[in-house]
Structure 1
Amino acid sequence: MTPHGGEKEERMASVGGTVRVFTRQATGLTKEIGTLDTFVYNVNNQNIGIGVAFILLFVPGFYVAADGGRADMFQSMVIAAILALPMAAVYALFAAAIPRSGGDYVYISRTLHPLLGFVASWNWVAWMTVYIGVPAAYFAKYGLSGMFRSIGVALGSADLVAFANNFVDPVWILAVGTILIAFFAVIFALGTRIYFRLQNVVFAIGMFGVVLAIALAFLGNSADFAANFDAYVGGAGGAAGASGNAIEVGAASFEQTLFSSTLPQFIVLFAITSSFLGGEVRRARVSQMLGMPGGVLFVTVWMILLVAAVQNLVGLPLLGGISGGYFSPGDTFGLSFVPSYNELVAAAYPGNVIVALLLGFTFVFWTYVWLPINFLASTRALLAWSIDGLMPAKVSEVNEQRHTPTVAIIIVAVLGWISLFMYTIGIGGFKIDTLYGIFGWILSFILCAIAAIVFPYRHRAVFESSPVNWRVGGIPLMSIVGAVATVALLVVEYIWWADPINGLAGTPAIFESLGIWPPIMIALTAGVFVTGALWYLGARAIQAQRGVRIERAFAEIPPE
């Protein structure tokens, strides 16, 4: 670890008696991100397509109590939205009050303590880089596989179905994911504006697919679906009578519903990533409010509509059977992988190649979208650390022509590829299992919510001059929202700890069936915070030996 050093690399100035220590007085980034860009960025990071796919693949078959009580998917989505909205408002208020790159690294380090801010941000980047590699894998695993299989079944082509099965092979997933990560690294190196143009186009394609799936599911013949599903599975080379795996459906259980909210929470909790791009967003107050809390509401409504449409077509008993066969598709259905909702809707229109193509093709554009979003946000976090002296100065260098941090892009691309490898191939039998990292990730959110309570009092002048200096009964609205968000996030944290399926303290049988040793995931979660603290303390010690007190940088708001 060699944070930037030497007097030549420091830009030190005394203004109003306060010493500033930054690598430079401007990031070199430009305000290229508009309101629509911000909204789409956050909606994509929630991910309607993958969100609904995961809810349908895991909730109906796994969130079932011993007495038959089941989770209510609609209540689950509403609970998730209620818990996520206060936090989204906190990040939107901060992004408007301090529109700087780096997200809650800036908010927490300037309000609570530099160490807490850096560790929270380190935690963010650790998991964001994981979610560069994982969606790179999803592109093949859930996207290309289902698209080619549904087209193959519609065409009656066994060869195309066999080709589709390749995309769930770890080596194929690694190869396709590597190409995808390299593609986005090049896009980001060429310019942020290029990415946002691409993002908005593919978002339109993805939303068209969601609307199409809803319409076709509601218009499809639910009475004939079991027979059509049997024909689809048979056409894919699967077992006969696949619809016979339908389960009995019991009454709704609040406990199962609450725990199952981890799946929609996994979606709507992440409507806040545009905060990392704060210094590049135009009209921050409007853009961030629309993009964060507005994004949560937008995504929740569309998820409810899509789940309702698919449940109406397929029926909850069969959805439960399909979900329950997720980890044993060969034994249950004679298939290499269970179908996602796009395949289920296509199955209702047997032999219709156009329907299969449109549903499969548009769904592909939901599978990978976390990749570029987390990629871009991670580079901005590294840039912010570097400006404060916690990373080498080279990391914050920005290409003067393209306004992109080239070194940071390379670092993030490498980290993303490592996560892809650990998700697909692994080392010594150990692979990354993604959902078990959410518990640790939420700790950063809690710190930010606490910072929101304190910020209007700790930085009164900045708050009063901000466009969000609103008060309710004389109390800053930001503090009120921060307090509500803190309580909501503590509830969220409990759910992510206790949920027997996705919680960090999950049922041992679940861990064993997935080949995961629980203490490893717990140690990994704790290790992220420990390594972050060690990096900060090491960087501070190195800079102190050079005569630089990096604490002085945290006394000011960083440059735009």
Structure 2
Amino acid sequence: MTAPSPTYRLDKSLGLFAIVASAVTQEYGAGINFIVPQSIGVYPGIANLVPLAMFATGMVIFLKVFLYARFSEAMPRAGSSYVWTVRALNLPFGFILHFVWWASITAAMGFIAFAFGTFLGNALIAAGIAGGHAILTPPGHLIAGLAALWIIYAIHVAGIRDYGRLVTILLILVALTAIAVCVIGFATSPAAFVRAASARTGLTLAPPAHPAPFDLHAFLAVCTLFIFAYGGLSGAPALSGEARDAAHTMPRGILFAWITSVVLFTLVSAALLHAAPWWAAAALIAQKHAALVTAPGILGLAAPHAVAAIIGLVIALIVGKTLAPQMVVTSRMVFAWAEDGLLPPVFAETSHRRAPVAALTLTVVLASLFLIQATYIGWAFGVVARSITILLVWLAVAIAALNLRLNPRLRSSPWSEPFRRSLFTIPIALLSIVVTIAFIRSVIILPHTPFYVQPLFQGGVMALIGAALYLRARAIHPDLAATTATLPLE
């Protein structure tokens, strides 16, 4: 007698292109348009090596790509790295770590919703539309950010097929915008940018008489910041529960997304900092003209007014669209926790369109609260803390891969096979451990920064909250750990 086929709650309809589009559109946003040029202000010792740091970070990220591709082949599930680390290591460790990661992404959604208002308001002003000034006020930031969050929420509730169509269109938009930025950036001479910036600000911008020697600490610190830009690769496997033939489609999607991101990020960062030389960017930031050292700001000085205005509006849309794939990551993580009994079962339920509405609702409500905080109080969970959580998850995934490869107790586990057959598992996992620890050490303590915004303090608070949630779930379900002996359905 044939066993009944499982009843899936998620819609398994996404193909390879949608997976690549989701990862790249999550990555190409505030990171490349804001953080990359602004990194010179935080670490001026990086000098003219920002594009090299972006490329080097992308090359190092291949270690992570290899591990994520192997795990996506072995355990293609909606909970992605949470499911992997829990099954290969330990339930409380995996949950608490991923709760901190999840909190950082949810907080980042609030920040990006706020940044969307900034980019949109400035773009409208540059286009000669007076309404841009209203958006730059606190109420304007809040209204624009809430509109972005809840419109994207509505698209998600409509079903994953609509999301797949959205990110496919957005990937095309990202590619066209990146091409335009590269053409303008490489066609603009540094001297022309300096003249335009000096005329705009009244500053005298000149290169240093004696450039400083190579600063290894600044280079590593900037590479760590750029982990934020490549963070979308961490979220790509969240679609494993909704991909067709996920065990084969997801690994290829992660690889193609990585290649696309490295090429786009390296070319765009090189183009921006070809037009705006590093010493001019550093001086503008130091003299309170940081708005000119963003992608829209640089293009506003380098391109004809009409072209810069159009690209500025498109970049604002690109920054806002980052919320769509981030909502996938956070909601599917909640879905996976509910599957394992860590959260109430309502969060593992789906609508008639097979969307996890309760998980999506929790995500958008919390992101809205973080937006309110960013608008009226200030940004609390910083970019560095977000980068560190990404690195910690990568570190845990590397340790999990080693455990699956070397632990004899896991030899019979069906999900250890992809790691045992590969000769590269051990060296890549070991290199990942070395790289992540080196990056984390470079930024774990921020100089001249209050304790409450230190990454160590913020992560510790989130870890305590995660531990409390785990203990509560274990009190309700004493046999909670037994659920991790097998994979969840989706």
Report the TM-score, using the length of structure 1 for normalisation.
Answer: 0.79
Residue 375 of structure 1 pairs with residue 327 of structure 2 = yes
The residue identity in structure 2 corresponding to 1:277 is L
Structure 2 residue 71 is the aligned partner of structure 1 residue 94: yes
User: Counterparts in 2 of 1:187-266, with a 5 A limit?
Assistant: 187-231=155-199, 233=200, 239=201, 241-242=202-203, 244-246=204-206, 248=208, 249-266=211-228
Mark the CA change 1:543 to 1:465 in structure 2 (over 3 Å): closer, same or farther.
closer
Contact 2:26 2:324 in 1 (8 A): no
| Number of the residue aligned with 2:421 | 470
C-alpha distance in 1 between matches for 2:228 and 2:154: 28
1:451-462, aligned counterparts within 5 Å?
451-456=400-405, 457=407, 458-462=409-413
**Residue matched to 1:145:** 121
* CA positional deviation for 1:543: 2.0
C-alpha contact 2:79 2:238 (8 A) present in aligned 1: yes
Letter in 2 for 1:384: A
**Residues in 2 aligned to 1:542 and 1:470: alpha-carbon distance in whole angstroms:** 40
Are 1:531 and 2:489 counterparts? no
The secondary structure found in structure 2 opposite 1:115 is helix
Q: Deviations over 1:305-326 (max 9, x none)?
A: 222222332333322222334x
Instruction: Select 2:94's aligned residue among 106, 117, 120.
Output: 117
- Residue 299 of structure 2 corresponds to 345
User: Counterpart of 1:555 in structure 2: which amino acid?
Assistant: A
Question: Could you say which residue in structure 2 is the equivalent of 1:553?
Answer: 483
C-alpha distance in structure 2 between counterparts of 1:183 and 1:140, whole Å: 14
User: Does the CA-based 8 Å contact 1:57-1:322 persist in structure 2?
Assistant: no
The answer for the alignment partner of 1:70 in structure 2 is 47
In 2, the alpha carbon distance for the partners of 1:518 and 1:304 equals 34
Query: Is residue 182 from structure 1 mapped to residue 150 from structure 2 by the alignment?
Result: yes
Task: Specify the SS of the correspondent of 1:312.
Answer: helix
- Counterpart in the other structure of 2:85: 108
- 2:284 paired with 1:322: yes
Whether the aligned pair in 2 keeps the contact of 1:49 and 1:367 (CA below 8 Å) is yes
Counterpart-to-counterpart distance in 2, 1:423 and 1:136? 9
Q: Tell me, yes or no, if the aligned pair for 2:88 and 2:404 is still in contact at 8 Å.
A: yes
Deviates more, 1:76-85 or 1:216-225: 216-225
- Over 3 Å counting, the alpha-carbon distance change for 1:557 and 1:135 in structure 2 is same
| Residue 258 of structure 2 corresponds to residue 307 of structure 1 | no
Q: Deviations over 1:401-447 (max 9, x none)?
A: 20011111111111111111122212xx7844343343244323211
Given candidates 20, 24, 34, the residue that maps to 1:39 is 20
Alignment-derived partner of residue 475 in structure 2: 541
Gaps of 5+ in 2: none
**Residue pair 2:395, 2:436 contacting (<8 A) in 1 also:** yes
1:175 is displaced (CA, Å) by 1.5
Q: Is the 8 A contact 2:341 2:480 kept in 1?
A: yes
Q: Which residue of 2 aligns with 1:12?
A: none
**Paired residue for 1:500?**
none
Alpha-carbon distance between aligned partners in 2 of 1:434 and 1:224, rounded to the nearest angstrom: 32
Q: Measured at CA, do residues 390 and 285 of structure 1 come closer, stay the same or move farther in structure 2, by a change above 3 Å?
A: closer
Stretch deviating more after TM superposition (265-274 or 533-542): 265-274
Q: Secondary structure, in 3 states, of the residue corresponding to 1:342?
A: helix
Identity across matched positions, percent: 21
**Residues 395-414 of structure 1 mapped to structure 2, 5 A cutoff:** 395-399=347-351, 401-414=352-365
Paired letter, 1:146? N
Q: CA deviation at 1:246?
A: 4.8
Shift of 1:28: 0.5
Question: Cα distance, 1:191 vs. partner?
Answer: 0.5
Deviation, 1:178, is 0.8
SS at match of 1:292: helix
Q: Which amino acid aligns with 2:326?
A: N
Q: 1:314 to 1:71 in 2, by over 3 A?
A: closer
Q: Do 2:224 and 2:440's aligned partners in 1 also have CA atoms closer than 8 Å?
A: no
Matched residue of 1:558: which SS? Answer: coil
Query: Counterpart of 1:447 in structure 2: which amino acid?
Result: A
Q: What is the SS of the residue equivalent to 2:477?
A: helix
> What is the number of residues matched between the two proteins?
483
Distance 1:311 1:111 in 2: 43
1:550 maps to amino acid: L
Give the AA of the match of 1:93: R
Contact 1:135 1:369 in 2 (8 A): no
Does the C-alpha gap of structure 1 residues 483 and 25 become closer, same or farther in structure 2, counting only changes over 3 Å? Answer: farther
| Residue 495 (str. 1) matches residue 425 (str. 2) | no
Distance 1:182 1:212, change over 3 A: same
Post-superposition Cα deviations, 1:59-112, rounded to whole Å, max 9, x if no partner, equal 2x33235xxx73621331233123322122212211111111101111111111
- The question of whether the paired residues in 1 share the 8 Å contact of 2:97 and 2:393 is answered with yes
Q: Pairwise CA RMSD of aligned residues?
A: 2.7
Q: Secondary structure at the match of 1:364?
A: helix
Structure 1 residue 212: Cα displacement: 0.8
> 2:446 matched to which residue of 1?
506
- Amino acid aligned to 2:108: Y
* Cα distance in 2 between the residues matched to 1:285 and 1:393: 26
- Whichever residue aligns with residue 487 of structure 1, its letter is V
State the Cα distance separating 1:48 from its structure 2 match: 5.8
Query: SS of 1:171's equivalent?
Result: helix
- The 1:168/1:87 distance shift into structure 2, 3 A limit, reads same
Match of 1:486 in 2: 433
Change (3 A) 1:105 1:464: closer
3-state SS, counterpart of residue 453 of structure 1: helix
Which residue identity does 2:465 align to in structure 1? T
Q: Distance in 2 between matches of 1:205 and 1:270?
A: 17
